[in-house]
Structures are given as C-alpha cells and as structure tokens.
C-alpha cells in the first residue's frame, strides 16, 4: 500500500514568523526514506479550533498524521488534548512518564514547576514515544483508519525522536522502498544544471532525476523505487554515471554532507594539514571546517586578520604590498595564504580577502569582490570572485569557493 | 476589517525535507507588522492537482493567499499556471519582463536558455511585482473576493520581494496596527521564563506577552493592537517595564538583533577593541561578530588555535600550563584570553576552550565542558559551562555565552 502522510506543525510562533519550521524537514526526510509520500504539510497556531479543523482536513486526505510541537509545559501547549478529542480519546496520566520528568529536574538540581506535569498526560492506550532528549514524551495511536504520531517541537528533540522512535514505529507500515542519491555540484546554478540534464531527466519516471538549488550549490537527486533497497539502488546507478559524464568536475561528490567534509577527508587521505587566513569571511571558513568532528586530524588553526596591521603582524603580509595593491587584491590573498602556511606550519594555506558589504565598495572593486588564494608549497592559485549579493551571501560563497579551490588543488 | 491570510509554499523539495520553508517566516513576519493574521500555512509539492486543492481550501478560509515558489524556469515550476486556472485567468506574455530577463543574462555574459521565457508569462491584468534580485517576477491580483500574491521561492529573492513589493501592495488593505517588541534573554530557558512571568501574562489579552524558545536564548514578545502605531506601542510600554523588573540582567536587550550586535555597539560606545582566541568553537565567535557590518570598528581579529602547539606559538600559552592543566581548563582559557589581547593589541580578549564532542570527553571533563575567559586588562573572568548536547549546540552555546560574558564585563 502506498501510504500518504500529512505533517502538521503546531505553533503560533511559526505562523508569526518567529521561527522557521525545520521539524517539517526532519519528518519529511525520514518519511522519504521509508517510501511514505508527503503531499501536504500544514502549520497552525496554538489554537484548538483551527488545529481541529486542520486535523479534520488531514483525516480526509492522509493515512498518517504526524504533528510536531505543542507538547510542552506552558498554557498554550494544546496538541495532545486537541488530537485526543478529534479521535474520541481521553488523556490519562502516565505515572512512569511523570516520574521521569520529576527525575530530570532533580538531576539538574532544580525544582519541577507544576506546569511540567501536563507533559505526562497521554491519550489512553497510545504507544509512548520516549523522549530521552527533553521532558515531553511523544505518542502514537491508530484510530478512525488513521495513524497519528505526536512529536515534540524543539528541533533537538524532534530530530532524534523522529529517527529513534517514530521511524521504527512507521517501518512496520511501509512496503515500498525508495533509495535516493544526491549528486552535489558547486559553481553551477540550478537552471544551468537543469539545462544540461533535461534531455535525460524529462523522460524518466523511475528512477527520477531532479535538480534543487541550495545555498551556494546545486543538488541533483536521483531516486529509485522498488520492492527492496538493493533493487531500488540498482535503478539509480546508470543515471549517476550519465550525470558524471555530463557534469564532470563541477561535481564535488555524491552522498557527501558538504564541501568541507570532502576537503577534510581528502586532506586526511593525503596526510596533509591545512591552515586558514581570513579577512572578510571573519572565521566562517575555519568554522565550516571545524563543524565536523575529527577536523583536528587535518586542520591546525586559522587567523582572522580583520585589520591591515594584523595582516602585517600575524601573516607577514608586507606593508609595501598593502600600500601598493591594497588589502583586497590578488597579491594580498596570496601573501595571506603563504603567510598562514608558514605561521602555523601547514601543508596547505588558504587566504581570503574581499569586500563583503554593504559598504566598502568602489567602481573598480565593487561589493562582492573577493580574492581567494590556496598555497600548497608548490604553487599559489588565486581565484577572483564577484558575488553581488548581501553580506551573508558574499561571505558564504567566498568560504565555499575557498573549499572548492582546495578540493581542486588536492585533486590535481 | 480583520484580514486573514494563508501562506502556501509550493515545492516538492520542501515536502521531501530537502530544504526548510524559511519563506513562510519571511512572509508571516511581514504580515504581522501589517496587522494581518495568519491562521494557516501549507506546503504542497510541484503538483498542479494538489496545489489546486490547497488553493480551493484556502479560498474558503482566507482573504489573502500568498504563494512562494514555483515561478522559475524549470519544467516543474507551475504556480502561475495553476493559480491562474483556479481563478479563471489566462497567462499572458509580458514583453517588458521578457526583455528584463534577457538583459539579466546578457549582463552576465551568458546566453538565456529558452526555459527562462516562461518566467515572463503572467496572469492577465495582474499587478507585476518587479524582481530586482532574480529573474522571476512575482504578481498580484484580486479575484473571487480573494487577494492573491505570488512570490519567488529562493529566500534571497523572497525576502526583498516581500518587503519592497508585497508589503506596499498589502498596506492599502490593512486598518489595524500591531506593534511588537522583543525582549531578549540569555541564560534562562523558556519554561523558567514562563514561570516567572505567567502571573502577568495569563490575564493579558491586549497587549499579549508570550515566551518563545530560540536556539540558545529566550524571547519574550509583547504585542499591542490598536488603530494606529503609537497607540499600539503605548500599550506595550508598561508591560516591558514590568518584565525588566522581574528578569533583570538576564535581559540583554529589547528589539536588538543579537548578542553580537549588543556587544559591538557597547564596544563602540566605550571606544574599545576586541580580539578572540578560539579552540573548540573554531572561528564561530569571530564569525558571529563579523556577521555585522561595521564590526571592524571594534573587532581587530581572532586566532583559532585548534592544536596545542598553535596555542603555545600564537597565543603564548605556556607549555608547562598545558602539561599541568591540559588545554580544557580555566587556566588555559585565561591564558588564551590574555594572550590574544597582547598578540593583537586589543582592549578585550576572549578565550574559549572545551570539548565540543562527540568524542574527547572523560568522566572528569565530559563532552560539553567549555571554559570561557574574558580579559579586560583589569581582570580575567572565567566561566565554566556544561552543555551536554550535540557538537553544533555546544559550539553555538559556548560562543553565545562568551558574548554574554563580554556584555556583562562591559556593563559592570
């Protein structure tokens, strides 16, 4: 049976735009792995009438309803009460969960405020979805031909709850298997990628091939559907090969989490170390590398030289060079890359200098002009980019371009 | 009239969980400022039948429908076609928009692929919402008693389109005014804050006072509603005063974008400079400071010393200290803060050292143990934190705690 799910996020703060609904992404990705389709996702506020209305609509069009949010201790946490009413169930105190919540507060040396008790009330006869990452347990039940799962809202709880509790519960329902692979591309926009692969993608129904634009990169998702995982996977392989033939080295990897990951893995494989010298990116490049556990196997450290004097003092950029070419120049980027290589004793040095904006641009060097240098002791390659965008995008694209340049120099 | 809007995001990649629906937040925040209520937001895939079904439901329950996404050049961009059909309108080629799109490609020295033309087809008689940040224009029309606005999906286009095009269009419809102020709190969780303010918040209907948990901080939103902006604002003021009396210096500011902003502003006001020395946060603290334009007025630079040898070499942390106390210690954090102050010649130095995880912990110093030191030349204050969470959260909370510690030392 092809199950179809609807995700309902409960929370006025999402409707008001105070926070972004990342839980929907968490739940949807997991459902995708299980071969469960999601055709709608909805957000309602902390309002029982509108939540009830949304649930009634969902009952009509979905086999599985998964809610996120509204399980907490405050007066506007109303999900369980409302969903229980929609399905004619009572809420019942679960002693074990109450003790768990009390114990959580004791361990922190804090008193449990009374409002936390409501988290231990659950729909009668439900399956409790234990929450080891927060205080509010989730729950699941089957009623009126609908599977209902309720998960907590905070992402650091929702993520493991979906993976460790909801997915095992749902696995029993699913009989189709979807396998996806993500081909990751840097330096080509979505419409350019689509233009190059359309002739193969348009005709395909299984597997499917679709491009997605992500911040700073493009992703091509190949998805195969079959009765079991290995048959589904086998469908994707010839398509992946075709894409590699078409797109070549714009592809930085398949099923890899990020450019930073690929760079670190390659450095480790080659037994090399790296150090970073940043100006306009302000630490973003070293942050990207150190996002990953085990970065210390290859990353020695970085210098953020936000003033010219610091470039001279810590990166040995000659004063005359700065006078002659300015900080935003090919020459300065190269000197920064070579300087940090020596200062930290690394095999690879990276230097980034540019104008992130919104101020600081000129006709000759507009906002978004950034020079990225990679020095490996044999050569120093400098790339100039121009991203005429907002400050955050200029910084992000520059740091990613630096990673891509390191990748290319390592793969040469 | 109290207008009510529904936001429909179009995009299979959102349903599949490939990306997060940040556009809903953008649109919702703007609507909130206009006093337009949002009671539902929905996500559908790139599927005309399901989009049509969602629009039919929205027609019933909302006065304003705002869609995001699906305006692009690829074969699955179907929003305009579908919405036009729902409201009995034809799509007509807009010559001016077509020329604009052609011109955009010429300026980049690229050929416009034919698929980009579809972006110039718009519903007959609509108001064109010019897109100066991408190629796909949005549009707006009024039909069947419903205001319909269609905006592009990519956030860097949706954000300015909402603010510069959609908001002026919608301002004409709104007669109520909502004014909100955000009181920002660091170091207290949502349920603790709620517990302290519940006795005033529970009874209030106008203004309203509600707590929201955000990554690493808590926000209290006070919202007043009246016929005009200054009357609405006047309602919020006494409540804000009450909250300050209750929560004291846990509040880092009201209507300020971030802790980093407050720290930089305070440094500038006091004519002081700052330098950062990071280990486990890997550049995240300097990245947070440099996210803001004008950071260079106070921020000199930072050193990410990811290995012990680099702490010794660049931050003058004595070898004996590292041997005796280890890198994850109060002593090392203090030495890093004082070392970077001297190395860069700053008034304030910050040192952060700890175990971000998932590996590296011990019984004595578990994962999440981080020491944060702030040195101002008069004293060096060290704070130990323990955030037993995932790597990203440990790093984020540590960097934020460092900013809060700088704030407190500057405000003493």
Condensed to tens digits (0 to 9), the pLDDT of residues A170-185 reads 987 766 677 889 999 9
Burial code (b: 16+ CB inside 10 Å, e: under 16) for B223-249 equals: bbbbeeeeebbebbeebbeebeeebee
CA gap B297, B311 in Å, rounded: 26
Q: What is the SS3 assignment for B88? A: coil
Instruction: Note if the bond before A358 is cis, omega within 30 degrees.
Output: yes
Q: What is the pLDDT averaged over residues A343-367?
A: 96
Spell out which residues of chain B touch residue A217, defining contact as CB-CB under 8 Å: none
Residue B267 has pLDDT above 70, yes or no: yes
Whether residues B307 and A296 touch (CB distance < 8 A) is answered with yes
Q: Judged by CB atoms within 8 Å, which residues 133-162 of B form the interface with A?
A: 154, 156
DSSP count for chain A of H helices, then E strands: 15, 17
What's the pLDDT score for residue B175?
A: 67
Nearest CA in chain A to B32: A16
Interchain contact, A72 vs B32, CB within 8 Å = no
pLDDT (average), residues A385-399:
93
User: How confident is the prediction for chain A on average, in pLDDT?
Assistant: 92
Across the range A208-213, mean pLDDT stands at: 83
Distance from CA of A86 to the nearest CA of B (A): 18
pLDDT above 70 coverage of chain A, percent: 99
- B63-91 pLDDT per residue, tens: 999 999 999 887 778 999 999 999 999 99
Q: Which residues pair with residue A177 across a beta bridge?
A: A226
> Looking at this predicted complex, what is its ipTM?
0.76
Neighboring chain A residues of B287 at a CB cutoff of 8 Å: 281-284, 287
Cα distance between residue A4 and residue A63, in whole Å:
5
Candidates A286, A189, A339, A20; CA nearest to B115 is A189
Least confident of A81-85, A112-116, B3-7: A112-116
Structure token digits, residue B288: 């947070």
The pLDDT confidence band at residue B28, using thresholds 50, 70 and 90, is very high
* Short-list B374, B282, B77, B143, CA closest to A284: B282
User: Pseudo-torsion of CA A287, A290, A292, A295, nearest 10°?
Assistant: 160
Mean pLDDT confidence for B178-185: 91
Residues of B in contact with A21 (CB under 8 A): 20-21, 24-25
Q: What is the pLDDT of residue A76?
A: 73
Question: pLDDT grade, residue A410 (50/70/90)?
Answer: very high
A17 or A26, higher pLDDT: A26
- pLDDT for residue A293: 96
Cβ–Cβ < 8 Å for B67, B150: yes
Q: How many CA atoms lie within 13 A of B332 on its CB side?
A: 27
pTM (predicted TM-score): 0.78
Q: Do A28 and B41 touch (CB under 8 A)?
A: no
- Whether cis (ω within 30° of 0) applies to the bond prior to B207 is yes
Count Cβ–Cβ pairs < 8 Å, chain A vs chain B. Answer: 284
Mean pLDDT of A221-246: 93
CB B352 within 8 A of CB B335: no
Mean pLDDT score of chain B: 92
């Amino acid at each position: 049976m092809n199950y179809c799910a609807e995700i309902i996020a409960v929370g006025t703060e999402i409707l008001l735009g105070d926070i972004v609904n990342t839980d929907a992404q968490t739940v949807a990705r997991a459902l995708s792995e299980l071969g469960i389709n999601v055709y709608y996702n909805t957000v309602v506020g902390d309002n029982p009438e509108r939540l009830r209305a949304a649930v009634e609509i969902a009952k009509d069009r979905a086999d599985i309803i998964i809610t996120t949010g509204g399980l907490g201790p405050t007066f506007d946490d109303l999900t369980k009460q409302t969903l229980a009413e929609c399905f004619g169930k009572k809420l019942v105190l679960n002693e074990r969960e109450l003790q768990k919540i009390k114990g959580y507060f004791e361990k922190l040396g804090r008193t449990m405020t009374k409002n936390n008790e409501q988290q231990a009330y659950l729909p009668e006869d439900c399956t409790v979805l234990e929450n080891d990452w927060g205080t509010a347990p989730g729950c699941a039940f089957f009623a009126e031909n609908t599977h209902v799962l309720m998960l907590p809202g905070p992402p650091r709880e929702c993520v493991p709850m979906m993976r460790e509790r909801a997915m095992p519960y749902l696995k029993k329902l699913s009989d189709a298997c979807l396998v996806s692979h993500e081909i990751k591309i840097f330096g080509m926009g979505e419409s350019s990628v689509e233009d190059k692969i359309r002739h193969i993608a348009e005709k395909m129904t299984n597997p499917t091939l679709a491009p997605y634009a992500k911040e700073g990169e493009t992703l091509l998702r190949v998805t195969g559907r079959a009765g079991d995982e290995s048959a589904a996977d086998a469908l994707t392989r010839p398509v992946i090969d075709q894409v590699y033939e078409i797109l070549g080295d714009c592809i930085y990897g398949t099923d890899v989490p990020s450019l930073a990951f690929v760079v670190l893995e390659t450095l480790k494989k080659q037994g090399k170390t790296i150090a970073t010298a940043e100006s306009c990116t302000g630490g973003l490049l070293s942050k990207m590398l150190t996002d990953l556990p085990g970065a210390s196997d290859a990353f020695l450290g970085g210098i953020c030289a936000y003033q010219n004097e610091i470039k001279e003092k810590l990166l040995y950029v000659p004063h005359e060079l700065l006078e002659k070419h300015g900080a935003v120049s090919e020459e300065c980027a190269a000197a920064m890359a070579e300087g940090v290589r020596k200062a930290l004793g690394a095999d690879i040095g990276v230097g980034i200098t540019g104008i992130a904006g919104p101020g600081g641009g000129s006709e000759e060097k507009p906002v978004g002009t950034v020079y990225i240098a990679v020095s490996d002791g044999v050569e120093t390659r400098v790339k100039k980019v121009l991203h005429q965008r907002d400050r955050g995008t200029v910084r992000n694209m520059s740091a990613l371009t630096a990673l891509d340049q390191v990748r290319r120099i390592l793969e040469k």
